Amino acid sequence: MITSRVLDRASGVRHAFFSRRGGVSEGIYASLNCGPGSDDDHLKVERNRARAMQMLGLSGDRLVTAYQVHSSRVAVVEGPWKDGAPSRFDGLVTARKGVALGVLTADCAPVLFAGAGAVGAAHAGWRGARAGILEATVDAMRRLGVGSGDVVAAIGPCIGQDSYGVGLEFMADFLADDPGNEKFFAAAGRDGQRLFDLAGYVLHRLAGLGLKAVEVLAFDSCRDEERFFSYRRARRRGEKDYGRCLSAIVLGD
């Protein structure tokens, strides 16, 4: 598992950006696939999630993840969710000890937050980041009594710019938001394409929030097949599905 220096220094917090290693799943899901939304065997996914929680010193039932929909919706978590609980969110925050907040990614950026007495987790693909999921997650932490200047954040492994080719219409939407967003696009090898810097864009959105510190963990999930699942890599190969990596954070008991 991968950790962040800024989160390691946060008092009373445990966290991890888990790789795909160390689980029980097989084939395209090998091996630590933690995504219940995949077509992997449900029992294997549950065993993988329990293994991840064990590495954080918790039982598997302490993990909360949402059905992610690339939105700006954030849930305040009071405890592990029961079956049937509302779950269409891309941000989670809690002030409860012993509850692990998790996000599932396969190229999107997982962002973990820690403040004085609260933690947060956000699933930041380009849609969610553009829609304001990062700002909404920090706002929810503020409502729990945490000042922005006390919050630290880490951007976990996601697709790298060299792997993220997009069309000109994609870039045009970002430039319509702010012409300064042009800096997140580089020339590609093909006409009509640009390379998008997702981590850089997420960092830019976080930089405007007055946080105490932000760290970027520089990995390319698409290129590093040994360590990470990747939606884009799976699509390029024509694979029917893909696994999901888990990132999680918890306030200590």
Distance of alpha carbon 105 from alpha carbon 107, whole angstroms: 6
Question: What is the predicted pLDDT for the residue at 252?
Answer: 87
Q: pLDDT tens, 76-131?
A: 999 998 776 668 999 999 999 999 999 999 999 999 999 999 999 999 999 999 99
**Among the listed residues 162, 104, 109, the one whose alpha carbon sits nearest the alpha carbon of residue 133:** 109
Distance of alpha carbon 101 from alpha carbon 1, whole angstroms: 16
- The CATH number of 5-160+197-251 is 3.60.140.10
> Taking the complete model, does pTM exceed 0.85, yes or no?
yes
Question: What is the predicted pLDDT for the residue at 189?
Answer: 80
Q: pLDDT tens, 24-71?
A: 999 999 999 999 999 999 999 999 999 999 999 999 999 999 999 999
CB 87 within 8 Å of CB 93: no
Domain ranges of the chain: 5-160+197-251
Q: pLDDT tens, 188-226?
A: 987 789 999 999 999 999 999 999 999 999 999 999 999
Q: pLDDT tens, 138-151?
A: 999 999 999 999 99
Question: What is the predicted pLDDT for the residue at 191?
Answer: 77
CB 244 within 8 Å of CB 38: yes
Question: What is the predicted pLDDT for the residue at 192?
Answer: 85
